[in-house]
């Protein structure tokens, strides 16, 4: 019987069926960070339990780290307390911690792949919703809550319910100026933010096959914003080439053997899907959100929904954003530009943004910052001179962290500021100000908006 990757990986990690219908699933990799782990460790200590598999558990600091001065102790007492707790817990349980002095610290979903910890055919958990990112390698990867972090720490397994699989094909080729971010915003815009409930999204088709791992990570990262528990892309030669030679990847003959096994994990031709969706890649335009969830988006040359229905989600969004029904999204003034996050804070994202801004200056009324997703991304970008391109244009060049994606650190919006952001959530208050407004878009579009001072179409703006 042909099977999907989801089914194969699930079956190979199933420990046993539980009386309540759930499966006890073995977890191959547990990534932890400073925000969702302290309480879980406290509960372990309370019961006198040890971490079951410290060799499969890896920690980093990302959400709360300041990106300007990283002098310890941090100025923010809460950040210092959380950091100290993670350091203490990792020491006590023998868990590797990639801290600020490690040279590889960064956002958990950026460093897992970079270090070769993320591999095809794995089950991966982390106390962060965007763990779906790791599905880009052909893994079953999903976010968990603090009590589940405790369970995985204690047993290296988790009680979970299986999901259905929706295959999403993106056919053909993307046009110039259209990126993975536009693809996933378009998918979420068309299907809605709740359509993925109870599903895993399997992405495929010629446009996805052609994508780099960085781009596939952007797609899988935002699966959760479409309501899916997880998203994945079947592993292929692009995947193997990315993993080869990384610090925790198998080496030598073991790598070749691993590739054979990883190939077997890919969905079989004729595998059964619970649903199928097809999008034509060439039909996708640079996409911008205008509302308060990632499904409220329009092509950059489009207009906001026309007409208002009292009490509707669109009505609430228009009110919050202060936009008019039917107005064009292009031309909306921005105050802040943010390039970063686990969605679009990788080297390829920084390269795209730098390509757009080279030789230009950030608009006088815009505050612009670039926050590399990891110390490794920052170093690689500096080796290429990208930091100088950003600095010359008037962008602030920061240290690695989650930064303004969720503003659990000093990077935040103030008042009613409008932010062109390469992150993944535009919820009310997400970027630190309860009244702040977020427009999600690709890094290239953020860069163009920073220069123009307003939302512009990067396809035509670059030609001016």
Q: Which of 90, 107, 258, 298 binds ligand SF4 (CB under 6 A)?
A: 107
Nearer to ligand SF4, 399 or 423 (CB): 423
405 in contact with ligand SF4 (CB under 6 A):
yes
- The piece of 117-125, 234-242, 293-301, 399-407 that touches ligand SF4 (CB under 6 A) is 399-407
For the CB of residue 33, give the shortest distance to ligand SF4 in the complex, in Å. Answer: 8
Quote the tokens at residue 421: 């952001």
**CA–CA separation, 201 and 275 (whole Å):** 10
- Answer for the pair 443, 424: CB distance below 8 angstroms, yes or no: no
- The strands making up 418-421's β-sheet, listed across from edge to edge, are 396-397, 367-370, 336-339, 418-421, 437-440
Number of residues that bind ligand SF4 (CB under 6 A): 14
Question: Among 23, 148, 421, 424, which residue interacts with ligand SF4 (rule: CB under 6 A)?
Answer: 424
Stretch touching ligand SF4 by CB under 6 A, among 170-178, 375-383, 389-397, 398-406: 398-406
- By CB under 6 A, residue 134 contacts ligand SF4: no
The nearer residue to ligand SF4, 130 or 387, going by C-beta atoms, is 130
Near ligand SF4 in 216-235, by CB under 6 A = none
* Stretch near ligand SF4 under the rule CB under 6 A, chosen from 247-255, 293-301, 401-409, 435-443: 401-409
Q: Does 412 participate in binding ligand SF4 (rule CB under 6 A)?
A: no
- The answer to whether residue 109 forms part of the interface with ligand SF4 (CB under 6 A) is yes
Whichever of 40 and 107 has its CB closer to ligand SF4, that residue is: 107
Shortest reach from residue 458's CB to ligand SF4, in Å: 22
Q: For residue 115, which of 376, 398, 379, 342 has the smallest C-alpha distance?
A: 376
Q: How far is CA 442 from the centre of its chain?
A: 13
* DSSP notation for 148-206: HHHHHHHHSEEEE---EEEEEEEES-PPTT--HHHHHHHHHHHH-SSTTTTEEEEEESH
Q: How far is CA 371 from CA 266, 274, 288, 385, in A?
A: 34, 39, 20, 15
Please state whether the peptide bond connecting residue 298 to the residue before it is cis, i.e. omega within 30 degrees of 0. Answer: no
Q: Is 342 in the site for ligand SF4 (CB under 6 A)?
A: yes
CB 65, min distance to ligand SF4, A: 10
- 128 is a contact residue toward ligand SF4 (CB under 6 A): yes
Taking contact as CB under 6 A, which single stretch among the options 20-28, 101-109, 174-182, 296-304 is the one that binds ligand SF4? 101-109
Residue 441 in contact with residue 289, Cβ under 8 Å?
yes
Q: Is 24 exposed, middle or buried (0-12, 13-18, 19+ CB in 10 A)?
A: middle
Stretch that binds ligand SF4, among 71-79, 102-110, 245-253, 277-285 (CB under 6 A): 102-110
User: What phi, psi does 424 have (nearest 5°)?
Assistant: -120, -10
Q: What is the dihedral of CA 257, 262, 218, 183, to 10 degrees?
A: 130
369 is an interface residue for ligand SF4 by CB under 6 A: no
Stretch that binds ligand SF4, among 4-12, 104-112, 182-190, 439-447 (CB under 6 A): 104-112
What is the contact surface with ligand SF4 in residues (CB under 6 A)?
A: 62-63, 107-109, 128, 130, 341-342, 402, 405-406, 423-424
């Amino acid at each position: 019987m042909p099977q999907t990757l989801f089914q194969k990986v699930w079956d190979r990690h199933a420990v046993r069926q539980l009386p309540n219908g759930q499966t006890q699933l073995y977890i191959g990799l547990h990534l932890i960070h400073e925000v969702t782990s302290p309480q879980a460790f406290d509960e372990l200590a309370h019961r006198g339990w040890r971490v079951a598999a410290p060799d499969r558990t890896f920690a980093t600091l990302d959400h709360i780290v300041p990106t300007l001065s990283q002098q310890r102790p941090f100025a923010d007492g809460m950040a210092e307390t959380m950091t100290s707790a993670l350091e203490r817990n990792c020491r006590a349980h023998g868990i590797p911690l990639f801290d600020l002095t490690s040279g590889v610290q960064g956002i958990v979903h950026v460093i897992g792949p970079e270090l070769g910890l993320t591999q095809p055919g794995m089950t991966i958990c982390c106390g962060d919703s965007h763990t779906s990112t790791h599905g880009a390698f052909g893994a079953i990867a999903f976010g968990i809550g603090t009590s589940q972090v405790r369970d995985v720490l204690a047993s290296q397994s988790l009680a979970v319910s299986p999901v259905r699989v929706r295959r999403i094909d993106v056919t053909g080729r993307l046009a110039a100026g259209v990126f993975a971010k536009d693809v996933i915003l378009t998918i979420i815009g068309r299907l809605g933010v709740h359509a993925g409930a109870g599903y895993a999204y399997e992405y495929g088709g010629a446009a996805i096959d052609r994508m780099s791992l960085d781009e596939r990570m952007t797609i899988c990262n935002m699966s959760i914003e479409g309501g899916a528990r997880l998203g994945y892309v079947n592993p292929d030669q692009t995947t193997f080439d990315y993993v080869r030679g990384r610090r925790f990847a198998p080496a030598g003959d073991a790598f070749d053997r691993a590739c054979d096994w990883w190939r077997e994990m890919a969905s079989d031709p004729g595998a059964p899907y619970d649903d199928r969706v097809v999008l034509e890649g060439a039909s996708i335009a640079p996409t911008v959100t205008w509302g308060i969830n990632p499904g409220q988006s329009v092509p950059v040359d489009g207009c906001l929904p026309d007409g208002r229905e009292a009490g509707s989600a669109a009505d609430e969004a228009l009110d919050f954003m202060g936009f008019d029904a039917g107005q064009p999204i292009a031309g909306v003034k921005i105050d802040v530009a943010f390039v970063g996050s686990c969605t679009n804070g990788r080297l390829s994202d920084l390269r795209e943004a730098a390509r757009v801004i080279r030789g230009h200056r950030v608009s006088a009324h815009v505050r612009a910052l670039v926050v590399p997703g990891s110390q490794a991304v920052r170093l690689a970008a500096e080796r290429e001179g990208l930091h100088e391109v950003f600095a010359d244009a008037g962008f602030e060049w920061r240290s690695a962290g989650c930064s303004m994606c969720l503003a659990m650190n000093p990077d935040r919006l103030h008042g009613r500021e409008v932010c062109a952001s390469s992150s993944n959530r535009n919820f009310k208050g997400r970027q630190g100000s309860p009244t702040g407004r977020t427009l999600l878009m690709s890094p290239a579009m953020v860069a163009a908006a920073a220069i123009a001072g307003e939302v512009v179409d990067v396809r035509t703006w670059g030609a001016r």
